Structure 1
Amino acid sequence: MRRIDLNCDLGESYGAWRMGEDDAVLAEVSSANIACGFHAGDPETMRRTVRLAVARGVAIGAHPSLPDLQGFGRREMSIGTDEAYALTVYQIGALAAFAHAAGGALHHVKPHGALYNMAARDASLAQAIAAAVADVDRGLILVGLAGSALPQAGRAAGLAVAAEAFCDRRYRADGSLTPRREAGAVIDEVEAAVAQGLSIALRGEATAGDGSRVAVAADTLCIHGDKPDAAAFARRLRAALTEAGITIAAPARGATA
């Protein structure tokens, strides 16, 4: 039976600012990527979100970002490999502590936003992130864009990796994501996004913005928790995948540290 992971970026509230429907989304997904305070989230939000994930039996992942609260981590910055390594270790360590305190354990790491997209293109940056994950815990799974430099770096570092695809993002013909600054980069219509998720899960392909078919071999599908309809979309996508005979489950961790 075909299996696929459903992951969602969560814990992105900060101070008095509230974002998302984390509890409702956690009822539908198998993995949670929890903000670590650099692009969103704060200590209390991290604690609360981790505890919700533990209660739901959802795999807990660190979602490290560039230090960009104002830009929600979506603005690219010039960053060296040493700094990338250090900020990744720092954020993983913070979330791992909350997971331990809640009686759970960290399962995976997925970079956020601009850091994710930069690491998909830049092999040296991807290697620094992979090294940071491996040095913290070689049992952690590294999540990265399917077919990009990040999963490749993870495998080279001896990590288990999960190749990720997006239901609500438009692909380019080369398999990269259409940048958010371009028109049509985000698929807002729920049924169209569900259809893309099903196509990736069942056939390993998506339709690019130019109409061509793009091969996308994915282990996990992403749901963006900052969307206003995130919970409704998660329910609809999970139902569609289940009806198609696909089991929703987080991948197994790699080797122990």
Structure 2
Amino acid sequence: MTSIDLNADLGEGFGRWQLTDDEELLSVVTSANVACGFHAGDAVTMRRVCELAAERGVRIGAQVSYHDLAGFGRRAMDVPAAELAAEVAYQVGALEVFARAAGTRVSYVKPHGALYNRVVHDAEQAAAVVDGVVLADAALPVLGLPGSHLLKVAEQAGLPVVTEAFADRAYTERGTLVPRSQDGAVITDAAMVIERSVTLARSGTVVSHSGEHITVRARSLCLHGDTPGAVELARRVRAELTASGVRVEAFV
């Protein structure tokens, strides 16, 4: 049977401000990308999400980012490699404290926002992220876009790699994500997101922004938690995957 992991970005609040419905999404997903305080999240939020994830048997991932709380980690930044590596390790380490306190551990690392897109094509920044992961835990899997520099460098460093796809993001013909600044970059039609989810899981293909069928073979499917109706959409995606004969389970 075909299987797929469902991951979502969680803990993306700060203080009194909340963005994602963490508790409800944790009843749907199998892996939780938890914000580590650099683009969103704070100590209390990180602890709460780790406890909820542990209760539900959801895997915890460190969603590392550029230090850009005001820009939600989506602004392009130039960070020296040594500094970025240290910041990645710092974020993983902070989340690991709360994960272990909840009786579990950090199971993988996934970059967020601008950093995620940067390490697709920037070998130096990708190497810095990998250096940071190795510094934190040399056995941690890295989650990223198929064909990215990040996954290539991670493999070379001996880290497990996990490929990821996005049902609600438009793709270029090269298999990269269309920048959010362009029209149509985020797909909001629920029926289309559900159909793309099943197609990605079953055949490893998706229709690009220009209408071409491209190959995107992924072990994990990302469901964004910061879009309107995210919880209900996630439930529908999981139900349709199951109905289509796809087993939903964590990759680690």
SS of the residue corresponding to residue 126 of structure 1 reads helix
Alignment correspondent of 1:44: 44
Alignment correspondent of 1:155: 155
Superposition TM-score, scaled by structure 2 size: 0.98
Alignment correspondent of 2:243: 243
Matched residues, percent identical?
A: 47
CA apart distance, 1:125? 1.2
Q: Is the 8 A contact 1:147 1:216 kept in 2?
A: no
Q: Tell me how far apart the structure 2 counterparts of residues 96 and 51 of structure 1 sit (CA, whole Å).
A: 12
Q: Given residue 77 of structure 2, which amino acid in structure 1 is its aligned partner?
A: M
Q: Tell me how far apart the structure 2 counterparts of residues 114 and 46 of structure 1 sit (CA, whole Å).
A: 21
Q: Tell me how far apart the structure 2 counterparts of residues 182 and 27 of structure 1 sit (CA, whole Å).
A: 32
Alignment coverage as a number of residue pairs:
252
SS of the residue corresponding to residue 192 of structure 2 reads helix
Q: Does 1:75 align with 2:60?
A: no
Q: Given residue 233 of structure 2, which amino acid in structure 1 is its aligned partner?
A: F
Q: Tell me how far apart the structure 1 counterparts of residues 146 and 38 of structure 2 sit (CA, whole Å).
A: 24
Q: Tell me how far apart the structure 2 counterparts of residues 144 and 69 of structure 1 sit (CA, whole Å).
A: 22
SS of the residue corresponding to residue 12 of structure 1 reads coil
Alignment correspondent of 1:58: 58
SS of the residue corresponding to residue 224 of structure 1 reads coil
CA apart distance, 1:119? 0.7
Q: Tell me how far apart the structure 2 counterparts of residues 207 and 141 of structure 1 sit (CA, whole Å).
A: 28
CA apart distance, 1:189? 0.8
After superposition, the C-alpha distances for 1:176-197 in whole angstroms (9 at most, x for unaligned) are 1000000000000111111111
Q: Tell me how far apart the structure 2 counterparts of residues 66 and 154 of structure 1 sit (CA, whole Å).
A: 19
Q: Given residue 165 of structure 1, which amino acid in structure 2 is its aligned partner?
A: A
Q: Does 1:119 align with 2:119?
A: yes
CA apart distance, 1:148? 1.2
Alignment correspondent of 1:31: 31
Gaps of 5+ in 1: 253-257
Alignment correspondent of 2:142: 142
Q: Is the 8 A contact 1:86 1:132 kept in 2?
A: yes
Q: Given residue 30 of structure 1, which amino acid in structure 2 is its aligned partner?
A: T
Q: Given residue 157 of structure 2, which amino acid in structure 1 is its aligned partner?
A: A
Gaps of 5+ in 2: none
CA apart distance, 1:223? 0.8
Q: Given residue 68 of structure 1, which amino acid in structure 2 is its aligned partner?
A: D
Superposition TM-score, scaled by structure 1 size: 0.96
SS of the residue corresponding to residue 110 of structure 1 reads strand
Q: Tell me how far apart the structure 1 counterparts of residues 146 and 56 of structure 2 sit (CA, whole Å).
A: 27
Q: Tell me how far apart the structure 2 counterparts of residues 11 and 136 of structure 1 sit (CA, whole Å).
A: 21
Q: Is the 8 A contact 1:133 1:140 kept in 2?
A: yes
TM-align CA RMSD: 0.9
CA apart distance, 1:42? 0.6
Q: Given residue 123 of structure 1, which amino acid in structure 2 is its aligned partner?
A: A
Q: After the TM superposition, which segments of 4 or more aligned residues of structure 1 sit over 6 Å from their partners?
A: none
Q: Tell me how far apart the structure 1 counterparts of residues 57 and 207 of structure 2 sit (CA, whole Å).
A: 33
